[in-house]
Chains A and B, each alone.
Chain A
Amino acid sequence: MRTDARTSSAVAVPRRVRRALLVIALAVLAVPFVVPTIWMVAASVKPLAEIFDAPPSLWTDSPTLSAYAEAFTFQPFARQYVNSVYIAVVVTAITLLVSSLAGYAFARIRFPGANALFLVVLTGLLVPSEVTIVPLFQLFKRAGLINTHWPLILVTSLAAPCVLATFIMRQFFIALPLELEEAARLDGLGRPAIWMRICLPLAKPALSAVAILTFLASWNLYLEPTVYLTSPEMFTLPQALTRFTDAYGGQMWNTQLAAATMTVLPMLIVFVLAQRHFVEGLAHSGLK
């Protein structure tokens, strides 16, 4: 497996060639992962008439940023951007708190019914949103919360994505050595203090994994915002992306692609910068 350490069976191909072959294979495999994004960016600076050129190309002789400008004049796109960001941040913060509390309790505190309650919580992971969306709409309508961001924040930070987070946190805390806590208890620390002062600082890898997964889940929500939000200045980005249509319902493709590019690039940049933490986070999160 680890070619680095491989010394036996040295006969065959020299290491350098094997490495080159590996890189070539990976590069070929990566094509379908990368080309759509590149195509999207390339098409967003093309004049509308060239987007559907056959055969498709990544090049244009007359690049234009007009679609980017159009995205902001056609809809309150900047506002929608802010909406998406702040909702994702709030959701992530609440999820981190709720899941680290519940995950810690399920992993470390013995109380009657813990296992049964854990199973109840886990059902939250299995119920498809299609089952709950209509009843939820009714509930939120009764509460007068339609066309506010509350449904998005509450459901996302307390139901499905948060349940996954609770699960991850529980797995992490179970794997944590018990001695640390015992020492703290000897010092007279109570549970809340142990959770906050001892366990949370140690849980950074798991917390960062949870943060990234939750942020992405909120950022990509599509069904829920379309259901709960009705006015453009309340929209979130995925929902706004589908609204770039002209008076006949025809798609304004270049504007849409420009807007899509603007939603994707920041996430990609953040990911590239943070990817080491992310992978390490998952690696040490106990999710294995």
Chain B
Amino acid sequence: MIRAKKVLTAVALTTALGLAAACAGPSPEAPGTAAELRMTVWTSNEAQLKLLTSIGDAYRADHPEVSKITFESLPFADYNTTLTTQIAGGNAPDLAWMGDLSKDLIASDALVGLTDKLKATDGWQYDDLLGSVTAEFSRDGTLYAYPFSNSPFALYVNTDLLAKAGQKVNPATLTWDQVAAAGAAVHAKTGKAGFVIRDFDYKSWNTLATVWTGWGAAAWSADGKTCTFASPEMEQAFTFLHDAAFKTKAMPGPGTTADFFAGDAAFTIAQVSRASLLTGSFKFGLYALPTGPAGKYAVLGQAGVGVLASSKHQDQAKDFLVYLTNPVNAEKLAQFFPPPRKSLLTGAKLAANNKVLNATQLQTAVVDQLPNAVTLPNHTSPAEIAQKGKTALDAMWRADADIPAVLRSVCTAIEPILAK
């Protein structure tokens, strides 16, 4: 349902698409006037906006050539379509946060390369960046967006609910099979849900990468050209999920809502940042993802900030980005977003500003995970791949599904888009 609403509002925004070309006459700035910068973000959190504004103010104090820096907060659900609309309509921001839109933006040369400038800036310490988190926003060795948020997926446990069902888990050695067994027991005993892959909802299948990576599977090859959905590893992973949904009932079936943070489920897989949704109404644990047949693994969701090529103040925008992400400011941002800098990644440093999670939790669930983490599947044309894949995968969510055949049909559906 959430996606559906997203779609509804999206109509709007992208409609703008059409808009673009003809009417997008750039209004020339009078020479000599100070630049006004605009950066789109999807947070509407006051503390986060306040921090951004204060960094902007500090920058302007030293840079009279920039007269104003606006942080424009767009609704999360419509972020991609709104941003696309603005770009298409000739009204692009100078800087922008980006999630899965990054590949499309990089591929169409809509972003400005950052590496040279960052490396050339004294004290910025480019080598401090973790390799595993920059890959997503790079092309041919050039970084196009600074990965300011790198939030690994973690296992949240409702220990109250487990205790109620007489279940106990050992997080250190926890496997997916144990999670499924405990989840099934909770469901049988209490009627509440076992484990929930947050935001999956039998629609957003890319979130299932938090599971299938544990089986050693991947959606497509590293170069993004070949579909690997039909691999034996993927088949085993989906067999596990299918059993959980239809045989053991460890995972709520399609069409059933269960919100872990409202106390409706024993386990959930969600990003560490979602810990802010915990209300304290039950006791919880936060651990690294369970072990799969392929061993230990980690998955993360990322957000980057980049400079749009269409910006009329590219140089000033780039310069501000360098300032916004320098070691000092990166540390400030780290109180909200898991940072990409090795120097900042310790449990103790992260815990200093975190009200919900302690140093141990952050060390095991964030710091230890990042170096080897893979990102959620991402590709150019994300919306089209998501829709075609979803349509094919719908056949999976029936009790009598032919799992290998469905997975092959996913490849048939998305291969033409991968090849584009």
Contact B262 A133 (CB under 8 A): no
Select A49's contact among B11, B76, B262, beta carbons within 8 Å.
B262
Chain B residues lying within 8 Å of A227, measured Cβ to Cβ, are 11-13, 15-16
A96 CB to nearest B CB, Å: 29
Q: Does A249 contact B (CB under 8 A)?
A: yes
Cα A230 to Cα B86 in complex, Å, equals 10
A138 CB to nearest B CB, Å: 5
A235 CB to nearest B CB, Å: 11
Q: DSSP class of A's interface residues: helix, strand, loop or mixed? A: helix
Contact A243 B75 (CB under 8 A): yes
Contact A226 B274 (CB under 8 A): no
Contact B76 A248 (CB under 8 A): yes
Q: Does A247 contact B (CB under 8 A)?
A: yes
Chain A residues lying within 8 Å of B9, measured Cβ to Cβ, are 226, 239, 242-243
Cα A250 to Cα B75 in complex, Å, equals 11
Contact A142 B23 (CB under 8 A): yes
Q: Does B253 contact A (CB under 8 A)?
A: no
Q: Does B313 contact A (CB under 8 A)?
A: no
Complex: chain A residue closest to B74, CB-CB: A230
Q: Does A271 contact B (CB under 8 A)?
A: no
Can you list, as one digit per residue, whether each of A35-71 has a CB less than 8 Å from chain B (1) or not (0)? 0000000000000110010000000000000000000
Interface residues of B in 1-47 (CB under 8 A from A): 1-2, 5-6, 8-9, 11-13, 15-19, 22-23, 42-45
Q: Does B224 contact A (CB under 8 A)?
A: no
Cα A48 to Cα B281 in complex, Å, equals 13
Chain B residues lying within 8 Å of A86, measured Cβ to Cβ, are none
B382 CB to nearest A CB, Å: 15
Q: Does B338 contact A (CB under 8 A)?
A: no
Cα A137 to Cα B6 in complex, Å, equals 20
Q: DSSP class of B's interface residues: helix, strand, loop or mixed? A: helix
Tally of chain A residues near chain B (CB < 8 A):
25
Interface residues of A in 249-279 (CB under 8 A from B): 249-251
Given A52-B264, A242-B8, A242-B9, A249–B76 Cβ distance below 8 Å?
yes
Can you list, as one digit per residue, whether each of B268-280 has a CB less than 8 Å from chain A (1) or not (0)? 0000011001000
Chain A residues lying within 8 Å of B82, measured Cβ to Cβ, are 230
> Range of interface residues on chain B?
20 to 34
Cα A245 to Cα B44 in complex, Å, equals 10
Q: Does B77 contact A (CB under 8 A)?
A: yes
Cα A137 to Cα B21 in complex, Å, equals 12
Cα A52 to Cα B259 in complex, Å, equals 9
Q: Does A134 contact B (CB under 8 A)?
A: yes
Can you list, as one digit per residue, whether each of A100-124 has a CB less than 8 Å from chain B (1) or not (0)? 0000000000000000000000000
Q: Does A222 contact B (CB under 8 A)?
A: yes
Select A247's contact among B18, B42, B281, beta carbons within 8 Å.
B42
Chain B residues lying within 8 Å of A247, measured Cβ to Cβ, are 42-45, 76
Chain A residues lying within 8 Å of B43, measured Cβ to Cβ, are 247
Cα A269 to Cα B315 in complex, Å, equals 58
Q: Does A141 contact B (CB under 8 A)?
A: yes
Q: Does A128 contact B (CB under 8 A)?
A: no
Contact A141 B23 (CB under 8 A): yes
Of listed A49, A135, A239, A249, residue having the most chain B CB within 10 A: A249
Cα A223 to Cα B12 in complex, Å, equals 6
Chain A residues lying within 8 Å of B2, measured Cβ to Cβ, are 249-251
Cα A138 to Cα B5 in complex, Å, equals 25
Given A247-B45, A251-B2, A222–B8 Cβ distance below 8 Å?
yes
Can you list 15 residue pairs at the A/B interface with Cβ under 8 Å? A48-B262, A141-B19, A141-B89, A226-B11, A226-B13, A227-B15, A230-B82, A242-B8, A242-B9, A245-B76, A247-B76, A248-B277, A249-B2, A249-B75, A249-B76
Interface pairs A-B: 5 shortest CB-CB: A226-B12, A134-B18, A249-B76, A249-B77, A227-B15
Known: A222-B8, A227-B15, A245-B75. 17 other contacts (CB 8 A): A48-B262, A52-B262, A133-B15, A134-B15, A135-B18, A141-B19, A226-B8, A227-B12, A230-B82, A243-B75, A245-B76, A247-B42, A247-B43, A248-B277, A249-B77, A250-B277, A251-B5
